[in-house]
Amino acid sequence: MKYKKSKETQAHIISMAIDMIYAEGLEKISLNKILKAAETSKGSFYHQFNSLDELINQVFKTITTYFFEEFSLSSTKMSKKSLKLIGKKIIYGNENQDKISAVLFILISRSFSNNDLKKELIEFRKRSLSERNETIEETYVMLYDILVIGFLAQCQVVDNPVLLLDLWEELVDQLLL
């Protein structure tokens, strides 16, 4: 029972950190703000994480895991059908998905100047590939990342979901002849 409560506390702190990064950006969060939002003590926080940086790395792991599961590759090669479905999910995603996307972009941009986040991103990719039952060629994962991350960016600047979906499907058709 203690393990379950500990994992729930950890998940709650991570969730509050995601909310804060989304609302205020990475640079403006602090341990005290997270403690207040999570309604937890420093002792409870330090029982879960060694530092604020470790929490940020856990946020990054949580978000990248979410994306890998939510937009997972259904086979060793990406099919047109699965990629088109991903486009629809991105465009018509829910509010939580939009928040997760925004925080992912913040953390990826931070990885340019933060070697720990960069290492975490590289390690996540390695773990994701090795943990899958089927073999996925790394080039397909790279293509997937390029498509999804680039498309997420376009969804932020183009306010026409029908046009975006048409462009996404055309891109998928062209790439996977």
**Helix/strand/coil for 160:** coil
Residue range 19-63, pLDDT digits in tens: 999 999 888 899 999 999 999 999 999 999 999 989 998 998 888
- Cβ atoms of 110 and 117 within 8 Å: the answer is yes
Per-residue pLDDT, averaged over 94-111, amounts to: 82
Residue 132 has pLDDT above 60, yes or no: no
Segment (H or E) for 108: helix 95-111
Span between the terminal Cα atoms of the chain, in Å:
52
- Number of Cβ within 10 Å of residue 91's Cβ equals 19
pLDDT value at position 93?
A: 75
> By mean pLDDT, which of 24-38, 83-97, 109-123, 133-147 is the weakest?
133-147
pLDDT value at position 63?
A: 86
Determine the residue type at 140. Answer: Y
Per-residue pLDDT, averaged over 134-147, amounts to: 71
- Number of Cβ within 10 Å of residue 44's Cβ equals 17
Find, among 20, 11, 46, the residue nearest to 107 by Cα: 20
CA triple 122-96-103, angle to 5 deg: 40
pLDDT value at position 12?
A: 95
Average pLDDT of every residue of the chain = 81
Q: Which two tokens stand for residue 86?
A: 């991903």
How many CA atoms, within 13 angstroms, populate the side-chain half-sphere of residue 84? 10
Per-residue pLDDT, averaged over 105-134, amounts to: 77
Determine the residue type at 96. Answer: N
Q: Which two tokens stand for residue 78?
A: 């990406």
Residue range 56-94, pLDDT digits in tens: 989 988 887 777 666 655 444 567 787 788 888 888 876
